[in-house]
Amino acid sequence: MADNDTQRLMIKVARLYHTHGVRQTEIAKRLQISQSRVSRLLAQAEEASIVRTVVAVPQHIHAELEEQIEARYGLSEVHVVDTVSHDESEVNKDLAHTMASLLYELAFEVKTIAFTSWSKTLRLMVDALLPLRTRGEYVVETLGDLGPPELQHDAARSTQQFATLTGAQPVFLRTPGVVPSREIKELLIARDPYVRMAMEMLDSIDIALVGIGTCERDPELRSGDNFFTDEQFEHVRERGAVGEVCLHFIDAEGNPIDSELEDLVVGVTLDQLRNARHRWAVAGGERKHQAVRAAVAGGWVDTLVTDAGTAAFLLGEPAGAPADAAQAAARTAP
């Protein structure tokens, strides 16, 4: 059988099993193939990412911890996750899959979803998502392009994919996310009607999927490459910045840092974020502890998905205590 024929058969088997709930024995009879081949085709469909699996995390495993954070910071909802390790990349994967699972359980209709496509964790979330019951009319990028073309392409792909999963129309910000001067920013917006349209749509956000970052350059990005320079990061740190929300720098209490860097960002403004009906963030890991605390303290987030170590930090507990407790339970389980 040719490769295309094999792929078509793989998709048909995957749809019968995962979408229509047909048992493997019945699929084998219907398609006149062996049950062992059905099993192999299902396994190949997962390997080829035709079928993607999201681990559905039961909510409120850390109910008391979540309630304490909600009460202390005035958040609407907090979801705390036990991660498989303290490695940052592993933490991001666990948080992304948890956010994907939570979004999959929701079902409502909104007009405008603001999406931070440059966030690595949110891009991982999109990769893990299944088609959603939540429907949107527009998915609008919160920030212009950052870094080299390959990263810009990856961000645009995530925006397109997320829009497709919500039945929405993607709205891209095809302009540098950080520019050299305020004059260049004003000129770009004035001359590009599509940029102006996207910026205006951010005035009426129903749900903002917010990015939270530290006050240091991301390893994926070069200094000054549609991004801030190392010297600019040092400048805002000297002014008290501990993190950023959608590239707006904030201090430990979540107050915006008064800096000329504000005028260099082409994307969602602090006023637009503040006026969004809902602001969801998925962030964690030891490197982001202070940034996450600043974001929730300043009211820039109302729903948070984070790891147990960050949750403990938010409550002033010893770092890693809840996460280590889960590992200890696993070691002592019969």
**pLDDT tens-digit profile of 28-41?**
999 999 999 999 99
Write down the pLDDT at residue 29.
Answer: 93
CB atoms within 10 A of CB 228: 26
Write down the pLDDT at residue 53.
Answer: 66
Closest CA to 159 of 136, 140, 132: 140
Write down the pLDDT at residue 333.
Answer: 38
Place of tokens 């950052």: 146
Q: How far apart are alpha carbons 25 and 176 in whole angstroms?
A: 54
Place of tokens 């006149």: 32
Q: Which pTM was predicted?
A: 0.81
**39's tokens:** 């099993």
Write down the pLDDT at residue 60.
Answer: 65
Are the C-beta atoms of 277 and 303 separated by less than 8 Å? no
Write down the pLDDT at residue 264.
Answer: 96
Sign of CA dihedral 221, 223, 224, 228: positive
Are the C-beta atoms of 189 and 266 separated by less than 8 Å? yes
Q: Where are the alpha helices (DSSP H) in 206-246?
A: 230-238
Low-confidence ranges of the chain (pLDDT < 70): 1-2, 19, 53-60, 224, 317-334
Q: How many residues does the chain have?
A: 334
DSSP single-letter state for residue 260: G
